[in-house]
Structure formats: structure tokens, C-alpha cells
Amino acid sequence: MSDAFPASSQPSSYSVKTEALQPDPPTAQRVRKELSPADRALITRAQRGDTGAFNELIKLYERAVYNFALRLTADTDDAGDIAQDAFIRAFNAINSFRGDASFTTWLFRITTNVFLDERKKRRAHPTQSLDEMVTVSEGTLVKQVEDHSPGPETIATDKERTAALNRAIQKLPEYQRAMVVMYHLEQKAYEEIAEILEVPIGTVKSRLNRARLALKDLLSADRELLDS
């Protein structure tokens, strides 16, 4: 393999392709939801044992936590269990929330830990193969055993690509899956993922690159889908 090519000898098709595949940096920043004064007041009340205030906090955050859990597990029952456990853990640990992270970040950290703990237990006592968990149709997450992935002759649609992508995401190791879901589906910034996982930003970036490489390998069978 040759390492050095003079600029003039670069194939023109390559130049065109890499420009297309290195798009302009995003102008919109990934923004995190800051804690509002009203939310802060609810948290303070919950820290004093006010379950009514905690009820209000669940109302505000249950959708985000449940959807995050659903994207991690691709299973509505598992997602419900994880969301429930996460909120119970949050209630038990509410006094350890000091406001130095956003409440969403704190809740996602707990949810991620519940997910990883649950999968660890499941590995110790397996009841169902993760390969059976697949995703179909734009985020409607269901469980199915048969593989309905389209063959290469099938006309690719975004729906099929999404299904292929979600199947591949579900095959990633849990930690890599959590990172891919947080960055690409939850649109979290590297800084917030670092806070959620309590690791340095550099570690997040390098591990996410590894996760994307693994995802690319998993999708190699569906390359036609992506290229079409």
C-alpha cells in the first residue's frame, strides 16, 4: 500500500467523494436543557421527602427517560422496567443531586447505570437472546424473532435503513450502544455524555469512534442499503 501521493495525482472521484463525506461542521450546537427555577424548587421539595414534588418531576421527565430506555433496549417492557427502576433509584438518591449537573444528565446517568446493571444480570441469568430484539418502522420498537431485513435486490427506503441501523445498534455491546444512542439518537453533546458516563471527553470521543466502527462492520451486510 502506498502512503504518499502527490496532490495532483489524487483521483478526482476521490476528491469529490471525500468532500461529500466530510460535510460542513454543524452550525447548530447540541444544547442541553438547563435546570429551570421551577424544576429546582421541585427538586428541593423532593429532597425534603415531598413525594408530591417527586410526582411532578416524574411527569416532567418520564417521557425522556422512557424513550432513552426504549432506544437502549428496543423492548417496551424492558424500557418500562428500566424507567421505573431509574426513577426509584433517583428518588432514593435525590439528596445526592447537588445541581452541579443538569437534572436530565443526572437522570440519564442513573438510567444508563440501571440499563448496564440489568444487562449484566441478564448475562448472568440469560432468558432471551438480544439477537431477537429488533426494531421496525421509524422508532416503533417491537420484538420479533424472524429477520425481515431486505435483500440486496430490495429497493432501499429510509424505513428499511432505519430498521437495519436499529438492528445493528441492538447488536452493539451495551456500553457502546449507550454511547451511540446518546450521541446520535438523543443528540447529546460530547461534554454531556462525559458527564453522564463520568469519563473524560477524550475517552468519550475515542470510544464513540470505536462504537461507530463496530456499527459500520455490523452494517457491512447492508452496505447497499446505505449506499443507495
Measure the N-to-C terminal CA separation of the chain; round to a whole number of Å: 29
Q: Does 33 bind other proteins (CB under 8 A)?
A: no
Q: Does 98 bind other proteins (CB under 8 A)?
A: yes
Tell me the closest approach of the beta carbon of residue 64 to other proteins, in angstroms: 9
How many Å apart are CA 69 and CA 63, to the nearest integer?
Answer: 10
How many Å apart are CA 172 and CA 166, to the nearest integer?
Answer: 10
- Using CB under 8 A, pick the residue from 66, 103, 106, 115 that binds other proteins: 66
Evaluate whether 190 touches 205 at the Cβ level (below 8 Å). yes
Q: Cell triple for residue 16?
A: 469529490
Residue 163 amino acid letter: A
- Using CB under 8 A, pick the residue from 72, 87, 108, 179 that binds other proteins: 87
**Cell match 445498534: residue?**
169
Tell me the closest approach of the beta carbon of residue 2 to other proteins, in angstroms: 4
Q: Does 126 bind other proteins (CB under 8 A)?
A: no
Evaluate whether 199 touches 192 at the Cβ level (below 8 Å). no
Question: Which residues contact other proteins by CB under 8 A?
Answer: 1-5, 9-11, 14, 17-18, 21-25, 44, 47-51, 54-55, 58-59, 62-63, 65-67, 70-71, 76, 80, 83-84, 87-88, 91-93, 95-96, 98, 138-140, 161-162, 165, 180, 184-185, 205-206, 208-209, 212-213, 215-216, 219-220, 223, 226-227
